Amino acid sequence: MKGLINLGSTCFISSILQIIFNLKHFKEKFDTEESNSEFKTLYHHYNSDELTVSPDILKRFIISTNLFQGYQGDQHEFFSGLMNIIHEAHHRKCDLKKLKIFSYYEPDDMVQKAYTAFHLNGLTIDSDMNLKGKSYGYVSPIIDVFTGQLAAGTICVCGSITNNFEIFRTVELSLTKQTTTLTECLDEFTNLEHIENYSCDACGKYQNAARRFTFWHLPPVISFTLKRSNHLAQKNNSVLQTPEILDMTPYLTRNTMETKYELVAIAHHTGHVNFGHCFSTIKKMDGSWRVLNDQQVTILPNRVDSPTDYMYFYSRL
């Protein structure tokens, strides 16, 4: 593990980079990448035998992203932008007929719809089905490691059920007075949501309906982002209890995959919503934790839940 020099309000960038660089699942996938990018150059310098990372290399990468405007940014926004950048630089086109990631399911209509929605998403996952009808999609280390899929099941009062699928790279969770643990946040995220004036394709009417999100496909690394701020730029500094081992079984659409995850990294933010400082804590293979705060890397004797916790990264066991 290495520190990264703060070039001036770049701590939000460094805290996310240090987490990604130290994720086992990502390193295993990315080490085999042959295509080049500014990210790959920085990645190799970080993982080299050099004691520090050259500020010039870090600066060149930051400039290349176009994600830094010269002031303190948001870790969640940088993470999302970085995922797109890596995916675009290291994607490869693939024939959907040869992909078998959902081969453990029976080939019913719902599976085919989920399969298509997962892969036909263009070069950025934020786009929705813009390659609909094509026979090819794209894969990358980002698809392989960070990309999951939600199923949104909507039930109309007429009895019809509609299933739609959404891609995610991080799951945004709300903090309320009723949520004191990560599992309670997930309970709320997957609770039934009542909808009025739902336009039902089956009955052709505007009806009352209920919708529920569940996890259809879990990635090797799943991240959660806490919604700590509101529209008034007020920050919720409550402490959320997070388990070292998380079982995602209760939140699945159907139980067809490994569901046990281990907490391996946390992105932290201190201060006000619009300014402050960012750093990260990362778990090593031997079970010990380190604090990576700009250039400083220190031992964390005991990890405790903190009001600075902002993004959690869980790795599949």
- Over 70: is that where the pLDDT of 100 sits? no
What would the mean pLDDT of 16-26 be, rounded to a whole number?
97
Q: How far is CA 97 from the centre of its chain?
A: 27
What would the mean pLDDT of 187-206 be, rounded to a whole number?
91
DSSP for residue 249:
G
Characterize the bridge pairing of strands 171-174 and 161-168: unpaired
**Gap between the Cα atoms of 242 and 266, Å rounded:** 11
- Over 80: is that where the pLDDT of 302 sits? yes
CA atoms within 13 A on the CB side of 170: 24
In this predicted model, which residue has the larger pLDDT, 76 or 161? Answer: 76
Split at pLDDT 50, 70, 90, the class of 120 is low
- Over 60: is that where the pLDDT of 141 sits? yes
Q: How high is the pLDDT of residue 132? A: 46
Q: How high is the pLDDT of residue 238? A: 92
What would the mean pLDDT of 195-200 be, rounded to a whole number?
89
pLDDT tens-digit series, residues 144-190: 999 999 998 899 999 888 888 888 999 999 998 888 999 999 999 99
226: tokens are 């806490």
What would the mean pLDDT of 9-13 be, rounded to a whole number?
96
> In degrees, to the nearest 5, what angle opens at C-alpha 72 toward C-alphas 68 and 75?
80
Q: How high is the pLDDT of residue 101? A: 47
At residue 305, the 3 state secondary structure works out as: coil
What would the mean pLDDT of 284-309 be, rounded to a whole number?
94
pTM for the predicted model, two decimal places: 0.90
- Over 90: is that where the pLDDT of 44 sits? yes
- Over 50: is that where the pLDDT of 123 sits? no
- Over 90: is that where the pLDDT of 56 sits? yes
Across the chain, what does the average pLDDT equal?
88
Q: Which residues contact 97 (CB under 8 A, 6 or more apart)?
A: 135
In percent, how much of the chain has pLDDT > 70?
88
- Over 50: is that where the pLDDT of 3 sits? yes
115: tokens are 């399969």
- Over 70: is that where the pLDDT of 118 sits? yes
Q: How high is the pLDDT of residue 230? A: 82
pLDDT tens-digit series, residues 209-239: 999 999 999 999 999 999 998 877 788 899 9
Q: How high is the pLDDT of residue 278? A: 96
Q: How high is the pLDDT of residue 164? A: 85
> In degrees, to the nearest 5, what angle opens at C-alpha 73 toward C-alphas 21 and 147?
45
Domain spans of the chain? 11-316
Q: How high is the pLDDT of residue 176? A: 85
DSSP labels, 119-143? H---SSTTS-STTTT-SEEEE-HHH
Q: Which helix (H) or strand (E) holds 109?
A: helix 109-119
- Over 50: is that where the pLDDT of 17 sits? yes
Select from 3.60.70.12, 3.90.70.10, 3.30.465.10, 3.40.50.300 the CATH code of 11-316: 3.90.70.10
| Residue 102 near residue 122 (C-beta atoms within 8 A) | no
Q: Which helix (H) or strand (E) holds 14?
A: helix 11-21
Residue type, 55: P
- Over 70: is that where the pLDDT of 77 sits? yes
Q: Which long-range contacts (CB under 8 A, 24 or more apart) does 280-287 make?
A: 280/15, 280/16, 280/18, 280/19, 282/1, 282/18, 282/19, 282/22, 284/1, 285/24
